Amino acid sequence: MIAGGGDSALDWALELSSIAKRVLMVHRRPKFRGAPESVRRLELLAQEGKIDLIVPYQLHELEGDKETGVLKAVHLQDLEGKTMRYETDILLPFFGLSMNLGPIAEWGLGLDRNHIVVDPATCQTSTPGIFAIGDIATYPGKLKLILTGFSEGAVAAHSIQRHIFPGEVYHFEYSTTKGVPVK
């Protein structure tokens, strides 16, 4: 049983459909958030009976042996509260993270749809001295990639250094300047 509706859940379902005896795909709504080609393949495999789509349902309860930790069944619940039991030996949950700013939402930072707006040249927010990077930060043309987050981290670090030590000359060294240390 796979629970979720994004790319990771779809990828696992598609791959396991060729080797597992049965693949159950559980999602809280009939629309999936994965790549269009993956969604198309999933729906095709469901029509062929290779994947059982169980929508709109979500995980409700796990049933198993507490002594051994072996899963025996998963109880699912629909939107009206009706539950169903499915025997399964493996559950792969793929749930994304919900971005919740918590108290940061009250700081008066510029927000755009629950994301913090930053200057892409510095990663500074609308409040001087406060910087943001990663999935929570947004600006025109932003790509939500891990690589982008690493780059934003370097941009923010350099900007913060200039903010903390204004006027101080900073000699930036490239990571390839000194080469690899030899032991």
Q: pLDDT digit string (tens) for 84-136?
A: 999 999 999 988 666 678 888 889 999 999 899 999 999 999 999 999 999 89
Please state which CATH number belongs to domain 103-164.
3.50.50.60
- Dihedral sign (CA 47, 97, 29, 34): negative
pLDDT recorded at residue 97:
62
* Domain spanning 2-93: CATH superfamily: FAD/NAD(P)-binding domain (3.50.50.60)
Domain range annotation of the chain: 2-93, 103-164
Structure tokens at 82: 């009706």
Q: Label residue 148 by pLDDT band (50, 70, 90).
A: very high
How confident is the model at residue 96, as a pLDDT? 66
pLDDT at 103: 85
Phi then psi for residue 38, to 5 deg, are -65, -40
Mean of pLDDT values over 160-170:
89
Q: What is the mean pLDDT of the chain?
A: 91
Specify the pTM: 0.58
pLDDT on residue 95:
82
DSSP 78-123: ETTS-EEEEE-S--EE--PPP---GGGGGS---EETTEEE--TTT-
Are 76 and 58 within 8 A, CB to CB? yes
> Does an H or E element contain 152, and which?
helix 146-164
Q: In what order do the strands lie in the sheet with 57-65?
A: 57-65, 70-78, 83-87
